[in-house]
A and B are shown apart, each in its own frame.
Chain A
């Protein structure tokens, strides 16, 4: 039974088209995606310009960075850990990117991306190593490294800032140019979501992360290398955060000591809204990505509908609470159903 529950919801039912459809509608991503669609429809009814090409492009650009961060964070949360240091990692990588362009203006752009991801991966590895070696909750370790990384960044950057004008034009154009109406950096994010999504759905190592998050001891008994897997999740999260940091430098006007601070809770919120349970073991990176899009779209649609901008954060809070409550209701219902069906089997 425990192995069955590890499978994604769409496959939990017996095979057959009807079950597949039913499973699809029971997936945790559906309510979130539904909320997103409703939000976009209502906003467009009030302000038709909300779906104009320029506005669409802005929506996608705003969501890009959070989507990538949410995918990385989802990997960590699925293993029943959390990474609070991502805001600081993003800041370090973003400032590092600015420094790199300043020191070596002709650097090939792929090298910048590789370097940024590598830098992020190293920082993620520090987190992962501390978490797995010292067996201390990730919440505490990453809270500490959040301060440490931020401190290193502020002493490195001081009051210095790098502006988008300092970077090569080709790099800045990544967040200006579009392909089929989609900005290049958003395409990067979509590729990341699909690649990690497939990995988590179909690859053994990805499934192991779910097993670890559901029941760490059982996973260990089952022969899963818990420590290395969790370490890998942190490294992957760090590398994705590094990627987001490089894209941040391309997208935004300036990077400095404060870049990315306070981002960590927004990203955790996006992941939770997307149906990834904070207690680990459930949810998908697709859900996390939709949660990220939903949260960043709310901001734009409040502006578009001329709702007092001060309501924005309160809405986000209510949304998070609603997501947790819905999630709870679904899992209680599933547990009851499971109990009934099991007693029938006996």
Chain B
């Protein structure tokens, strides 16, 4: 009986309807609701200034969340991202201070730091087959430590002024920062990579079952290796961005960001077990945390409440699906129970 009931329900909710009620759609609905409520109830929220401040604030997390989503979908994790950003910042500061190179070359070499860090993570995880959680806790300490070794406790702050102004510049009167264009390109790149290429589709298979993915011909090791190189490169770009935005290179840039990124990605509907999640959902998750933080801060809610909200959102986002599926199962059992009870009383022939 139960077998005949459930497929019809699933079949009825296909295509567009499914997309409109999926978990990433729900995140986006909540995001829209939060934006509308903030616009109505929080003074000064509905202005172009908001757009500017908000984007500058969420860009680092938004950027790293992209490759991180892919890594988590494939069933791994990378905790070393913030440390890579810090190391990049430190290297960039020292190169700019001591080498006398053009800032363009300095930035290019700094991004290479991310490539090297990513390759090292990838090597340990795929070639040696070590668990990514443990490896990246190690490289979290190692890369942050190297940042300290490179720059010590100094700061380098004499970067060209034009670059800082460029990072903070806005497109016309919209309030949208110019760098947002690059961010959108990177988001689009990862969205296409994940949703429309065989490589990206393979990641879902990989996260779902590594053995099965191997059997259908996905090069598991290679795919994972490139994912970690990807998080390395993007983390480095964020390191450069943070350095230019703060106009200061130091060893502690981006400290603690890894957990905020992971919180945003998971809130965006990516399953920590792997195999589930989407880029629009992740973007929604990042923006939701960003908008909530910003509007609560604007409404003069103390900083401490913000941390509680972030944490509760994270817990809720993972506990809610469990509660929903538990409730669904209960309802289904109740219905089956009813049907079974009714059958004999209606005097059907096969009773």
Contact = CB atoms under 8 A, between A and B. Distances in A.
Note whether A and B form a binding pair.
Answer: yes
Given A134-B322, A140-B314, A310 B307 contact: no
Interface string A239-260: 0000000000000000000000
Interface string A264-297: 0100110010000111000000000000000000
Interface string B316-348: 001100110000000000000000000000000
Interface string B171-207: 0000000000000000000000000000000000000
Contacts of A269: 137-138, 141
Contacts of A151: 304-311
Contacts of B133: 82, 139, 278
Contact of B134 (A147, A262, A314, A324): A324
B311 A145 contact: yes
Contacts of A317: 138-145
A143 interface: yes
Contacts of A316: 141-142, 145
A321 B135 contact: yes
Nearest to B141: A317
Contact of A272 (B137, B262, B314): B137
Interface string B150-165: 0011000000000000
B124 to A, nearest CB: 7
B323 A150 contact: no
B256 A262 contact: yes
A33 interface: no
Interface residues of B, number: 49
A134 B321 CA distance: 9
A295 B144 CA distance: 16
B8 interface: no
A144 B144 contact: no
A47 interface: no
B98 interface: no
Contact of A325 (B128, B153, B266, B311): B128
A313 to B, nearest CB: 3
A320 B138 contact: yes
Interface in A133-148: 133-137, 139-141, 143-148
A203 B43 CA distance: 61
Contacts of B145: 310-317
B137 A152 contact: no
Contacts of A18: none
B312 A321 contact: no
A154 B135 CA distance: 31
B130 interface: yes
Contacts of A147: 263, 307-308, 310-311, 314
A308 interface: yes
A221 interface: no
A328 interface: yes
B272 interface: yes
Contacts of B298: none
B273 interface: yes
A155 interface: yes
A148 B140 CA distance: 23
A171 B227 CA distance: 52
Contacts of A146: 259, 311
B85 to A, nearest CB: 16
Contacts of B128: 325, 328
Interface string B287-313: 000000000000000111111111111
A265 B259 CA distance: 11
B276 to A, nearest CB: 13
Contact of B130 (A130, A139, A315, A328): A328
B130 A140 contact: no
Interface string B114-144: 0000000000100011110111011111111
- Among B79, B262, B307, B312, which residue has the most Cβ atoms of chain A within 10 A? B307
Nearest to B313: A144
Given A143-B263, A310-B148, A314-B145, A136 B319 contact: yes
Contacts of A136: 272, 318-319, 322
A3 interface: no
Nearest to B80: A317
A154 B140 contact: no
A135 B325 CA distance: 12
Nearest to A328: B130
Contact of B146 (A137, A277, A314): A314
Contacts of B259: 84, 143, 146
Given A139-B272, A278-B133, A312-B145, A144 B303 contact: no
A98 to B, nearest CB: 18
B33 interface: no
A321 B124 contact: yes
B30 interface: no
- Kindly list the 7 A-B residue pairs having the minimum CB-CB distance in the complex, ordered from nearest: A317-B142, A147-B311, A314-B145, A313-B145, A151-B308, A320-B138, A151-B307
27 contacts: A134-B323, A139-B272, A141-B315, A143-B259, A143-B314, A144-B311, A144-B318, A151-B304, A151-B306, A151-B309, A151-B311, A152-B304, A154-B303, A155-B302, A155-B305, A155-B308, A265-B137, A269-B138, A272-B137, A310-B149, A311-B145, A313-B142, A320-B137, A320-B138, A321-B135, A325-B128, A325-B130
Given A136-B322, A151-B305, 9 more contacts: A134-B319, A140-B314, A144-B318, A152-B308, A310-B149, A311-B148, A317-B143, A320-B134, A321-B138
